[in-house]
């Protein structure tokens, strides 16, 4: 039986379990970068606490599929709500170093100003700890974990109008004690990570950190593929103007929360929201590509009915930053009731006829197209569903009928070898 994308969304919302995205344990996913623009915000779709951050640094590439890059530094954006109670500490897993920076700048050009660093809480043993930092104020910060002897570097004025790149911190020989910046106000530019920099899996304990509700764009939380519960209770109650070109009649939305998703495939990104129970006002969702001050609207939708889903499909490239706003559609100047619900994100790779990754023409798969170009085109000319939605059993039957007699290639199933499987396909299509 064939299903529509909307039906697939409904099934996924029912079948998959909601991922608990915020606290008390935060799992690095995907890799947290090493500078503010690639950092991972410990902040998602509602309110929660965080008392642990789990992740990995490594001297080898964490990526497969041709993307290169070492993972020696992980940088997290955190909300320090209780400066007196703030602490972050690592266990003995490897010879770690921790660094704290204050967030300044804008969403499109964030800056990390050095605040404090720790190598070892005690001489001779692994384990770093930052706490009781004088003058620390509540606000948004970055905490970085790396391994000795890595240090962050930043640009400082160097007389005659020039700038030079210098180490932001230095450590005593035993590594013990909280360290403060060598140059006040200097911002992170890059990391020095010599060969032999310590790395490994970590489990950081965190105190005094409560993720904000992301009620403004620059605080956008992380949204992952799959199903995530959301709560608009702390969202912005100011009316949010929707991009021009949205469905006519949607004046705006309110109770808005902001999320950021990094696309993990070249293809179609489906984003949907569904209320937990019928709402006073329908849910609305908007997507943009880019960062807050420089964003391009790429999709928006409002549910047709109070209990309904709103969903959009956005063409993406892997690595695209997709900003999402979820809210309720405004129908009058009265503030609508708050809503809880589920957010669903799925990235479906887009192939073309003949693409090796598209799957065999003779086996069903849940993506469109198949790997033999002529066969694929011939089937889709008769049955466009096979190149628009998915290559299901009907498409396989079509390939049996359309492709086998016309193919001059004995490798009927396109798996690179001519064997009994090809003969079986030939026999099964005999006389059709």
- Which parts of this chain interact with Ca ion (CB under 5 A)? 31, 71, 74
Query: Nearer to Ca ion by C-beta: 21 or 71?
Result: 71
CB of 317 to Ca ion, least distance (A): 21
Kindly report the backbone phi and psi dihedral angles of residue 373, in degrees, each rounded to the nearest multiple of 5, phi listed first. -55, -50
Query: Nearer to Ca ion by C-beta: 74 or 231?
Result: 74
Place of tokens 């999320």: 259
Query: Nearer to Ca ion by C-beta: 71 or 346?
Result: 71
CB of 102 to Ca ion, least distance (A): 20
CB of 54 to Ca ion, least distance (A): 10
- Rg of the chain over all Cα atoms, to the nearest angstrom: 26
Partnered with residue 256 across adjacent β-strands are 236
CB of 65 to Ca ion, least distance (A): 17
CB of 72 to Ca ion, least distance (A): 7
CB 254 within 8 A of CB 211: no
Token readout for 335 is 């503030």
Query: Nearer to Ca ion by C-beta: 55 or 235?
Result: 55
Query: Nearer to Ca ion by C-beta: 31 or 240?
Result: 31
Query: Nearer to Ca ion by C-beta: 141 or 258?
Result: 141
CB of 127 to Ca ion, least distance (A): 19
Nearest CA-CA partner of 253 in 358, 331, 138 = 331
Can you say whether the dihedral through the CA atoms of 309, 310, 315, 319 is positive or negative?
Answer: negative
What is the length of the chain? Answer: 432
Nearest CA-CA partner of 429 in 412, 409, 404, 406 = 404
Query: Nearer to Ca ion by C-beta: 62 or 185?
Result: 62
CB of 429 to Ca ion, least distance (A): 50
CB of 40 to Ca ion, least distance (A): 9
Query: Nearer to Ca ion by C-beta: 33 or 373?
Result: 33
């Amino acid at each position: 039986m064939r299903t529509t994308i909307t039906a697939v969304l409904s099934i996924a919302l029912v079948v998959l379990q909601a991922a608990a995205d915020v606290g008390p344990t935060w799992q690095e996913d995907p890799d947290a970068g090493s500078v503010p623009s690639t950092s991972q915000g410990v902040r998602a779709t509602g309110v929660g606490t965080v008392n642990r951050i789990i992740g990995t640094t490594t001297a080898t590439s964490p990526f497969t599929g041709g993307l290169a890059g070492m993972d020696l530094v992980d940088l997290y954006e955190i909300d320090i709500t209780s400066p007196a109670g703030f602490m972050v500490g690592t266990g003995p897993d490897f010879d770690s170093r921790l660094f704290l920076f204050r967030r300044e700048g804008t969403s499109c050009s964030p800056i990390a100003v050095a605040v404090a660093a720790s190598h070892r809480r005690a001489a001779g043993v692994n384990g770093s700890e930052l706490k009781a930092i004088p003058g620390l104020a509540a606000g948004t910060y970055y905490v970085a974990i790396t391994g000795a002897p890595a240090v962050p570097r930043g640009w400082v004025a160097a007389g005659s109008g020039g700038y030079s790149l210098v180490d932001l911190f230095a450590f005593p020989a035993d590594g013990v004690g909280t360290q403060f910046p060598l140059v006040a106000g200097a911002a992170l530019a890059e990391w020095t990570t010599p060969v032999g920099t310590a790395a490994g899996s970590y489990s950081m304990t965190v105190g005094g950190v409560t993720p904000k509700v992301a009620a403004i764009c620059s605080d956008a939380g992380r949204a992952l593929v799959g199903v995530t519960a959301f709560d608009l209770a702390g969202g912005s109650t100011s009316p949010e103007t929707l991009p021009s070109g949205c469905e006519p009649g949607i004046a705006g939305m309110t109770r808005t929360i902001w999320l950021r998703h990094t696309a993990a495939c070249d293809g179609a990104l489906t984003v949907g929201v569904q209320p937990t129970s019928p709402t006073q006002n329908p849910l609305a969702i908007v997507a943009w590509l880019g960062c807050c001050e420089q964003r391009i609207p790429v999709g928006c939708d409002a549910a047709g009915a109070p209990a309904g889903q709103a969903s959009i499909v956005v063409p993406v490239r892997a690595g695209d930053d997709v900003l999402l706003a979820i809210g309720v559609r405004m129908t009058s100047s009265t503030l609508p009731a708050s809503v809880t619900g589920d957010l669903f994100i799925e990235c479906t790779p887009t192939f073309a006829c003949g693409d090796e990754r598209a799957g065999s023409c003779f086996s069903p798969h849940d993506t469109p197209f198949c790997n033999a170009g002529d066969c694929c085109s011939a089937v889709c000319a008769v049955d466009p569903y096979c190149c628009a939605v998915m290559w299901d059993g009907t498409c396989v039957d079509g390939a049996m009928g359309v492709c086998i007699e016309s193919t001059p290639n004995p490798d009927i199933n396109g798996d690179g070898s001519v064997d009994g499987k090809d003969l079986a396909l030939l026999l099964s299509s005999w006389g059709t």
